């Protein structure tokens, strides 16, 4: 875990050097609060989900993934309604489906299937097969994906500090897996 923390610190030091001076200190404070809340949620979820699934060996991972998706659908609809109210007040987006509705719906269906349902199905399967403490460490790959998206969006390669941090993140997970395997 210390290796993972060092990796996150290095990558974030690289990102902090790229901060946008046009943003206020309040923006960064709120962003930090939301990020910490997300870390709490993504620490709690894999541990709780793993324990819950291990207590119910008869429940299929796919069934649980579908149940989770159906339970979150009303929340997604509420979020979409809130976004609609926001965009109506602030403009800037052709709500609810954008300028190209077919493309938007197709992309949302693809994301819903791949990221939400398939991702949850595979995560539930991993939660059943691996110890909860190890599953929690594997969430680091979501952090790595976020960094990859940021670099792609910027159209730039990560600097040496970020690359060392990424290597430490991956190395920390490998060390965690080896510790659980006893090697």
Please name which of 17, 8, 14, 2 lies closest in space to residue 160, comparing C-alpha atoms. Answer: 14
Asked if 137 contacts 60 with a C-beta cutoff of 8 angstroms, the reply is no
- pLDDT for 183 equals 57
Q: What domain count does the chain have?
A: 1
- pLDDT for 164 equals 93
Residue-wise pLDDT tens digits, 56-102: 989 988 898 888 888 888 888 898 888 878 877 887 667 777 778 78
d(CA 75, CA 96): 16
Please name which of 119, 176, 174 lies closest in space to residue 142, comparing C-alpha atoms. Answer: 119
Phi, psi of 93, rounded to the nearest 5 degrees: -155, 135
d(CA 150, CA 153): 5
Examine residue 96 and say whether the peptide bond preceding it is cis (omega within 30 degrees of 0): yes
Q: pLDDT digit of tens for each residue in the chain (183 aa)?
A: 788 888 888 887 877 777 767 778 888 889 889 988 988 887 788 788 888 888 998 998 889 888 888 888 888 889 888 887 887 788 766 777 777 878 888 888 888 888 788 888 888 888 888 887 777 777 778 778 888 888 898 898 888 888 998 899 889 888 887 887 765
Structural domain for 94, as ranges: 2-181
Chain position carrying tokens 């659908």: 73
Q: Which two tokens stand for residue 140?
A: 């680091």
- pLDDT for 37 equals 92
For 35-70, the three-class secondary structure string (H helix, E strand, C coil) is HHHHHHHHHHHHHHHHHHHHCCCCCCHHHHHHHHHH
């Amino acid at each position: 875990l210390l290796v993972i923390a060092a990796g996150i610190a290095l990558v974030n030091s690289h990102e902090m050097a790229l901060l946008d001076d046009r943003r206020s200190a309040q923006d960064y404070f709120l962003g930090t609060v939301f990020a910490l809340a997300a870390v709490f949620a993504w620490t709690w979820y894999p541990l709780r989900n793993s324990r819950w699934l291990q207590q119910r060996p008869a429940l299929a991972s796919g069934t649980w993934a579908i149940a989770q998706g159906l339970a979150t659908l009303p929340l997604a609809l509420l979020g979409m309604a809130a976004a609609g109210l926001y965009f109506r007040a602030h403009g800037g987006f052709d709500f609810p489906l954008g300028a190209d509705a077919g493309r938007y719906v197709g992309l949302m269906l693809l994301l819903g299937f791949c990221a939400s349902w398939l991702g949850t199905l595979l995560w539930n399967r991993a939660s059943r097969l691996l110890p909860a403490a190890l599953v929690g460490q594997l969430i680091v790959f979501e952090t790595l994906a976020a960094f990859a998206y940021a670099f792609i969006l910027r159209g730039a390669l990560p600097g040496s500090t970020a690359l060392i941090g990424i290597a430490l993140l991956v190395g920390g997970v490998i060390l965690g897996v080896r510790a659980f395997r006893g090697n």
